[in-house]
Amino acid sequence: MNNLKFRFVAVPSMVAGMILFGGGEAWAMHIMEGFLPPSWSLFWTAVSLPFFVLGFRSMRKIVADNPRMKLLLAMVGAFAFVLSSLKIPSVTGSCSHPTGVGLGAIMFGPSVMSVLGAIVLLFQALLLAHGGLTTLGANLFSMGIAGPFVSYGIYKLADGMKAPRSMAVFLGAALGDLVTYVVTSLQLAAAFPSTTGGFAAAMFKFLGIFAVTQVPLAVSEGILTVMVYNTIRSYAGETMFSSATLSGEVK
């Protein structure tokens, strides 16, 4: 598979990635540069790497099977950019933003999002001082792997239980969003256990910061994902759409 084809997907994502917003106040989902001890940085990088490779192969296969999928892949990437630019006020009196990775996970299977997520995170880290290179592996695991896999799993589960499709998409996207932040809390708690209360106390603290803020945003993300999913589905036509959905692809 040549890089040319892949570039059609990567370029829109990258261009948008280059222009991701800066500033340090709203990216709740990223662990900031340098805020993870070196051993943990390495650990999460090692965990994320195989998923990234899988995602890359999955993406190549999708495009090779049907070149028209490049457009849909670019669109799910773009959706993640739009959603992550929406800083939304929450019930805790602070702001956070959705992730936008659920849509792609539901349409193409979860591993694709590890590549799109990595592109987003890399450019943010390099150009916008968001997240960081040293925390890239950890951030990729929460946003590009754990979140999408949960989105996809929940969607499949709900769909298998004959839930209405919109409901399945909503649940998948909303819960994937929440899980991203739970994983971030877990990563931070593992790296910075409380001297008095250990891991649990630290986990509780980080969850209080991240997860509670995220609850209404997860609902928003679920709703927005349903809207875009339904629109793409009706415009793409069933033949194209059903070939996009890689039902068998849980790796």
Partner 1 sequence: MMKKSILKNLLLAALVIALAVVPLMTLKHAEFGGADGQAEEAITELQPSYEPWFAPFWEPPGGEVESLLFALQAALGAGVLGYGLGFLRASREPSGEAQV
For the bound state, the minimum distance from the C-beta of residue 189 to partner 1, rounded and expressed in Å, comes to: 9
- Nearest residue (CB) to partner 1, 14 versus 47: 14
48-52's contacts with Cβ under 8 Å and 24+ in sequence apart are: 48/114, 48/137, 48/138, 48/140, 48/141, 48/144, 48/145, 49/137, 51/111, 51/114, 51/140, 51/141, 51/144, 51/145, 52/114, 52/115, 52/118, 52/140, 52/144
For the bound state, the minimum distance from the C-beta of residue 54 to partner 1, rounded and expressed in Å, comes to: 25
Spatial neighbors of 142 by CB under 8 A, at least 6 apart, are 29, 180, 181, 183, 184, 187
- Nearest residue (CB) to partner 1, 49 versus 129: 129
Spatial neighbors of 101 by CB under 8 A, at least 6 apart, are 80, 113, 116, 117, 143, 144, 147, 148, 151, 176, 180
For the bound state, the minimum distance from the C-beta of residue 27 to partner 1, rounded and expressed in Å, comes to: 5
- Nearest residue (CB) to partner 1, 77 versus 148: 77
For the bound state, the minimum distance from the C-beta of residue 148 to partner 1, rounded and expressed in Å, comes to: 18
For the bound state, the minimum distance from the C-beta of residue 53 to partner 1, rounded and expressed in Å, comes to: 25
For the bound state, the minimum distance from the C-beta of residue 83 to partner 1, rounded and expressed in Å, comes to: 8
Taking each helix axis from N to C terminus, what angle separates 3-18 and 38-65, rounded to the nearest 10 degrees?
A: 130
- Nearest residue (CB) to partner 1, 14 versus 49: 14
- Nearest residue (CB) to partner 1, 54 versus 138: 138
- Nearest residue (CB) to partner 1, 204 versus 250: 204
**Burial readout 129-141 (b: 16 or more C-beta within 10 A, e: otherwise):** ebbbebbbbbbbb
